Amino acid sequence: MRGLLLGALVLLSGCSTIASHRSVDGEVAIDRPVGELSENQLLDVWIELFEPGELPVDEDDAQGMSVDIREAEARYLPMLLRDTMEKTGYWGAVRVVPRGTEGGEVLVQGVILASDGERLQLKITALDASGREWFSSTYDAEVSLQAYQAAEQAGRDVFQPLFNAIANDLAIYRATLAPKDILTIRRIAGLRFATDLAPDVFRPYLQGDEEGHFTIVRLPAGEDPMVRRVNAIRERDFLLIDTLNGHFDNFYQSMREPYLQWRKTRLEELESMRAIQREARNRKLIGAAAIIGAIAIEALGGNSTRASTGTLRNVMVVGGAYALKTGFDKDSETTIHRDAIKELGDSFAAETRPLVVEVEGQTHELTGSAEVQYAQWRALLKRIYAAETGLPGDVH
């Protein structure tokens, strides 16, 4: 009991070192282990496709953003995190999976809170198969046009430091896990997959609560033929997820350059709009002041003053009106820039192509979004298990 309490305290202390909000400024070096970790120390990581988050309802506030580009970012950014985590050496297989995928050892979820080329804000939640939350933190970074130039020269993403910070925090928590914790997480992940596949058979081995926490009641016999079948089907599931990652990779590679240019151009447009707005505001103020000054001369001056300043008043009124007009013309130019940003944003729309898989000599076509395709695949796996064992599987 004392050992369990000590382990819990270690986990809690590890979690407390990770802040709930982190502003990422400047470079962040990625953390790597001193030596190579043995395979039994590695946990597989599943990174869910991010939630795209919400855009402002007002189109001016949205500044040309669109649902299409957010959906594209929700697929692109997890791949960037995956590549970052793979370079650390702390993890086993790191895969990007559809939201709601069952059976991962470590699950990373993300929500895009803000993304406009200048600022990226992500909410990242990490938990393991037992349902234990490692941390839930918000990461925020802002960049300049100079940062884009430096990133292009270095051949990396301009927001790479933010993803390095996320990867480092995941490694910090992982370091708090004892070998027995890692083994337990692996076993629970396997049992959760098996229970999802054949709940009537495997539910007695695993206890879950309403908050999504799981504990092992007992382990099935290692030589149980049903366990062997589940393990074989799980390997097929890994292959399908690897295939999906191949599709995500193709999308990631094809999107990388246009997305970089979109973000960079969008930031240039934002800076241009701000400069124009400042100039327009100044011109309006100057114009209004000139007209008000002319009116004041007319109202407060005597006959001799009005006579002697008539030309000046006319110049002030005409000049003030011109300044106001050019100020409003600058507003129109701002609208043109916003339209250009919107056109760039609307040009992004990502559709998942149909996926053809072969199982037991038969081909099956999976269609729809990545989430729908994977749901179809899981239903197919359950039918395969039911056919092989003669037991009813929950295919819904």
**Residue 20 confidence (pLDDT) above 70:** yes
Q: How many CB atoms lie within 10 A of CB 4?
A: 8
Question: Is 9 a residue whose pLDDT tops 60?
Answer: no
Span 135-158, average pLDDT? 93
* 107-to-103, 160, 348 alpha-carbon distances in Å: 9, 21, 28
How far are the Cα atoms of 274, 326, 328, 333, 334 from residue 338, in angstroms, in the given order?
A: 11, 19, 15, 9, 6
183 within 8 A of 190, measured Cβ to Cβ: no
Of the ranges 54-63, 80-89, 134-143, 265-274, which one carries the lowest mean pLDDT score?
54-63
Mean pLDDT value of segment 164-173: 97
Kindly state the average pLDDT of the residues 320-333: 50
User: CA dihedral defined by 184, 190, 194, 196, rounded to 10 degrees?
Assistant: 90
Rama region for 360: left / alpha / beta (φ>0; ψ in -120 to 50; rest): left
Mean pLDDT of the chain: 78
pLDDT 10s digits, 275-322? 777 666 655 555 555 555 555 555 555 555 444 445 544 544 445 555
Q: Is residue 363 predicted with pLDDT exceeding 60?
A: yes
Element (H, E) at 115: strand 106-115
Per-residue confidence at 11, pLDDT binned at 50, 70, 90?
very low
Closest CA relative to residue 90, chosen from 29, 135, 131, 45: 45
CA distance 147 to 142: 10
For residue 331, the model assigns a pLDDT of: 45
CB distance 111 to 123 below 8 Å: yes
Contact 95, 44 (CB under 8 A): yes
Residue spans of the domains in the chain: they are 2-264
**33-47, 178-192, 229-243, 291-305: which has the minimum mean pLDDT?**
291-305
Who contacts 162 (Cβ-Cβ below 8 Å, separation ≥6)? 24, 28, 120, 122, 139, 140, 141
Q: In residues, how long is the chain? A: 396
% pLDDT > 70, the chain: 71
The predicted structure's pLDDT at residue 283: 58
Q: Which of 7-21, 68-82, 241-255, 279-293 has the highest mean pLDDT?
A: 68-82
| pLDDT over 80 at 76, yes or no | yes
3 state SS of 128? strand
Rounded Cα gap, residues 230 and 263, in angstroms:
45
β 119-128/106-115 pair status: antiparallel
Which range is most confident: 59-63, 156-160, 238-242, 260-264? 156-160
The whole-number pLDDT of residue 35 equals 85
Residues 122 and 50: their CA atoms lie apart, in Å, by 9
* Range of lowest pLDDT (185-189, 230-234, 291-295, 387-391): 291-295
CA distance 314 to 322: 12
pLDDT band with cut points at 50, 70 and 90 for residue 338: very low
